[in-house]
Amino acid sequence: MQLRAIPWYVWCAAAAVTSSLIGAHWDISWHSSIGRDTFWTPAHMAIYLCGLLSGVAFGYLILYTTFAATAPLGPASVHIWGFRAPLGAFIASWGGIAMLTSAPFDNWWHDAYGLDVQIISPPHIVLFIGTYAVIVGTLVLIAGHMNRSEDGSRRKAGWLFLYVSGVLLSTVMIMLEEYTNRPHLHSAISYRMVGTLVPIVLVMASRATGFRFAATFVAAFYTLLVIGLIQILPLFPAQPKLGPVYQHVTHFVPPEFPVLIIVPALALDLLFARAKDWNLWLLAIVSATVFLAVLVAVEWPFADFLMSPASRNGFFGTIYHFYGQRPTSYEARNLFYDSGRTAGFWAEMALALAITTVMIRFGLSRGIWLHRIKR
CA dihedral 72, 77, 79, 83 (to 10 degrees): -40
pLDDT of residue 151: 67
Report helix, strand or coil for 73: coil
Segment 169-179 shows an average pLDDT of 92
226 contacts: CB under 8 Å, gap ≥ 6:
170, 173, 255, 257, 258
pLDDT tens digits for range 285-324: 999 999 999 999 999 999 999 999 999 999 999 999 988 8
- Across the chain, how many H-helices and E-strands are there? 11, 2
Mean pLDDT of 327-347: 81
Indicate left, alpha or beta for 326 from its phi (over 0: left) and psi (-120 to 50: alpha).
beta
Closest CA to 62 of 26, 93, 32, 29: 93
Q: Where are the domains of the chain?
A: 1-175, 178-375
Q: What is the pLDDT of residue 95?
A: 78
- CA pair distance 326, 303, nearest whole angstrom: 21
39 touches 107 (CB < 8 A): yes
Residue 97 pLDDT > 90: no
pLDDT of residue 69: 66
Q: Among candidates 327, 319, 268, which has minimal Cα distance to 293?
A: 268
More confident residue, 66 or 215: 215
Q: For domain 178-375, give the fold.
A: particulate methane monooxygenase, chain B (1.20.1450)
Distance CA 106, CA 23 (A): 15
Reported confidence tier of residue 121, pLDDT bands at 50, 70, 90: low
pTM of the model: 0.90
pLDDT exceeds 50 at position 1: no
